[in-house]
């Protein structure tokens, strides 16, 4: 009897292929989201570095004591739409964020008592993701001094943000930032 040559895949072969695709997707999708979150933190690194530079220029032009500068800068905020209470741009007009910025910033300042900036005003800038950020409510820390503590990449700690968290769970103190996002007078690695 004539049997025609049938071409195609068996059900088992299709199930194996679908399983392999599922495993690859389970591995790749979280990594893609992590990459997107990590790349969006570049905005914080740039904005915070610009703020620290502008504050430094302001400090040099004002010839204030470290304590007076700390009092002037501590708890100031920076928002893209300038709606924050205590905007730093009212004190330092050069601090302007892009109108389509993804983060709001709170600056915490202290006079350092230990570490490489002892006697100077040091900053911890806490960036919180706006509704248009990769993680709405996600938090990133920026220290005016670089750190090598676990989780810190120089001046920035993006651990919680990259993990999609809206709290500072698992974040280590580093530079002049405490684990809660406020500045500290002592230096952590």
When pLDDT is averaged across residues 165-180 and rounded to a whole number, the result is 91
Tens digit of each residue's pLDDT (9 = 90 or more) over 81-140: 988 889 999 999 988 888 999 999 999 999 999 888 888 999 999 999 999 988 899 999
Q: At what angle do helices 66-73 and 42-62 cross, to 10 degrees?
A: 130
pLDDT at 59: 87
pLDDT at 9: 82
Where helices occur in the chain by DSSP H, the ranges are 11-40, 42-62, 66-73, 159-162
77, 103 contact by CB (below 8 A): no
- Taking 60 as the threshold, does the pLDDT of residue 1 lie above it? no
Residue 147: pLDDT band by 50, 70, 90 thresholds? very high
Spatial contact of 161 and 138, defined as CB atoms under 8 Å apart:
yes
pLDDT of 3 = 63
Mean pLDDT of the region 136-149: 92
User: Which are the contacts of 168, defined by CB distance < 8 A and separation ≥ 6?
Assistant: 139, 141, 160, 179, 180, 181
Q: What percent of the chain has pLDDT over 70?
A: 96
Contacts of residue 165, defined as CB under 8 A and 6 or more positions apart, other chains included, come to 135, 138, 139
Q: Residues 4-29: pLDDT tens digits?
A: 667 788 889 889 999 999 998 888 88
């Amino acid at each position: 009897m004539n049997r025609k040559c049938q071409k195609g895949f068996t059900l088992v072969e299709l199930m194996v292929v679908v399983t392999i695709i599922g495993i690859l997707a389970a591995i790749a999708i979280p990594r893609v989201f992590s990459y997107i979150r990590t790349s969006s933190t570049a905005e914080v690194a740039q904005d915070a570095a610009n703020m620290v530079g502008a504050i430094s220029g302001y400090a040099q032009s004002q010839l204030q004591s470290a304590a007076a500068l700390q009092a002037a800068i501590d708890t100031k905020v920076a928002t893209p739409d300038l709606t924050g209470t205590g905007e730093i741009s009212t004190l330092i007009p050069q601090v302007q964020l892009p109108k389509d910025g993804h983060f709001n910033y709170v600056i915490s300042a202290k006079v350092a008592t230990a570490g490489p900036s002892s006697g100077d005003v040091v900053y911890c800038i806490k960036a919180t993701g706006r509704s248009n950020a990769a993680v709405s409510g996600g938090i990133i820390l920026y220290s005016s001094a670089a750190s090598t503590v676990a989780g810190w990449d120089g001046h920035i700690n993006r651990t919680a943000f990259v993990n999609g968290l809206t709290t500072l769970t698992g974040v280590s103190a580093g530079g002049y930032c405490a684990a809660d996002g406020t500045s500290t007078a002592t230096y952590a690695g």
